Amino acid sequence: MWMHWGNRRFFRIYCPDLIVHPVLDCPDAVDKILPWLERLHVIVFGPGLGRDPKIIETATNLLKLCLSAKKPIVIDADGLFILNDNIDLIYGHSNVILTPNAIEFRRLFGEDINVTRHKISLLGDGIVILEKGLNDKIYISQTNEIYIMPSGGSGRRCGGQGDLLSGSLATFLYWSLQSNQPNPVYLAACASSYFIKRLNYASFQKLGRSTVASDMINEIYTVFRNDFES
């Protein structure tokens, strides 16, 4: 299940398929959200969150609550902004995936390779970093291993492509956990990186430079069937 807390009217008009609960800006937002958490399989933090101080404060408290409840979590976009000065929030937790682009990665872990390795090593073995780029990179915190994924996904990099990555990560993470796969966060990161690049490639072959994120969504059925189910 996926939920977004924001402007309900806007999102319901734009996409009636979404379940939207507009409570993130309420003073008692965390208390209102708490009863729903048990029903949620994976929580995605960040896309569309914004940086209003009150929203950030509420989202930070909600993140702490989800971590204490041991919920699987994907953190992207403005969710990563929360971690810039609070990376220790996720230390030692399991089933957490971070999805920074190159700039967000440097903000989180610095530019000096030794500092970067040290900061990543502190995360713990249940956390994976998927750095987005022409070649996505997957960082395994405990071993300092870096896996370079095949290039692609940038025939035309669409606005919203990162959101598709976050959503697919949540889905693959849940499936990996349900099927008791070893290292589910790593498996989910590999599968989602590959999947989104394949969606982009399939869309770009048809529409070229006019490709947008919704065109990638239209390719989900075919790409998933051909690359995963077959």
Most confident of 13-22, 28-37, 174-183: 174-183
Q: Please calculate the CA angle 104-174-150 and round it to the nearest 5 degrees.
A: 50
Domain range annotation of the chain: 3-229
Residue with tokens 């990099």: 157
What is the rounded end-to-end Cα distance, in angstroms, of the chain? 25
Contacts of 193 (CB under 8 A, 6+ apart): 130, 136, 138, 149, 165
d(CA 59, CA 30): 8
Kindly give the interhelix angle for 29-37 and 53-68, rounded to the nearest 10 degrees. Answer: 30
Q: Does residue 7 carry a pLDDT above 60?
A: no
Chain segment 79-128, per-residue pLDDT in tens? 999 999 899 999 999 999 999 999 999 999 999 999 999 999 999 889 99
For residue 11, what pLDDT is reported? 56
Q: Give the mean model confidence (pLDDT) for residues 137-158.
A: 85
pLDDT tens-digit series, residues 37-53:
889 999 999 988 888 89
Structure tokens at 83: 């971690």
Beta bridge partners of 3: 19
SS3 20: strand
* Residue (of 161, 166, 165, 168) closest to 213 by Cα position: 161
Indicate if the pLDDT at residue 9 is higher than 60.
no
Question: Rounded to an integer, what distance in angstroms lies between the CA atom of residue 201 and that of residue 103?
Answer: 24
Nearest to 170 by CA among 150, 195, 146, 136: 195
Task: Decide yes or no: CATH 3.90.180.10 for domain 3-229.
Answer: no
